[in-house]
Structures are given as C-alpha cells and as structure tokens.
Amino acid sequence: MRDRHIWMIIAMMWIAVLFGPLVYDRIEYALDRSGWFEAEIEVLDGGMIAYTQTARRDLTGDWQAWIEVDGKHICGGFGTGTYRQSGRVTKYYSLGYFLGADCKIPQHNYRVCASWTHRNNAGYSKSTGPVCSAVVAP
C-alpha cells in the first residue's frame, strides 16, 4: 500500500512540473488587468522616429504602423516582432524602417501610429493601440 502512495505522489509531482506553467499562465491571464506592453512614438527632425517601449513580459506579436493624415491611413506596413521583458527602452529608427514600408513624408499635417497584437508563452493574446505621435507639420 505504501508503494502505491509513493508512486502517486511522484506522478502528481510530474504532473505539476509539466502542466504547472500552463495553469499559471492561464490564471495570470485571467487576473491580469494591466497591459503587457506600452509604447510611445515621437517624430523627430529628418524623418527619424523615437520609439519607446516597455514590455512587462516576454512576448511575440504582430504589429502594424502607418502614417495618418486627417484620420486616414496614407501609407504603412506590418510585421512580426519579439519583445523581451524590459524596462523603458527607446530606440531610434528611420521613418521607412519603423513603418516597414517606403513611405514619403506627407506635405500636410500628419502623425505616425502603430498597433500591436501580442501573445504570451501560453498563446494568450492582448492588443495594444493604436498609439500615435503628436501631429507633425512638415
């Protein structure tokens, strides 16, 4: 009888080791009301973008970025990214690189926007955005 209990305890420990992280991710997703990711976009002189991000956990995801004039998407692109848990990080990109497309700077007031759909390690997803820069006068 004792041997059976020992094997049951060992089996339960293996189940906890194998499935515990998935259960934890599911509970964390259900209880987490904060965002996984935050971003800010600033258009700098010379067609450069200051992109500041904060990832609160390791994520993968899809992004879209575009130029907006009077609320209309003028030009943009999309792609896939990997985001590592980090503090606040600022990166500098050319406008074309940030957008993932060769867009010309409009002759009218415009802003640069982006949105993301992220997935955590368990496959749950959350969206962020759109996040836009201030309106820029060319």
Rg (CA), the chain: 22
Do 40 and 80 belong together in one domain? yes
pLDDT in tens, 39-52: 999 999 888 999 99
Lowest mean pLDDT among 2-16, 67-81, 102-116: 2-16
Which range of 63-67, 99-103, 118-122 scores highest in mean pLDDT? It is 63-67
Residue 134 pLDDT > 90, yes or no?
Answer: yes
pLDDT confidence tier of residue 34, bands split at 50, 70 and 90: low
pLDDT in tens, 11-31: 777 776 666 666 666 666 555
| Assessment of whether the complete model's pTM goes beyond 0.95 | no
Do 24 and 54 belong together in one domain? no
Range of the domain at 46: 34-132
pLDDT in tens, 83-98: 888 889 999 999 999 9
Could you give phi then psi for residue 103, rounded to 5 degrees? -105, 140
Do 17 and 49 belong together in one domain? no
CA distance 74 to 4: 68
Domain count, the chain: 2
Residue 26 resides in a domain: yes
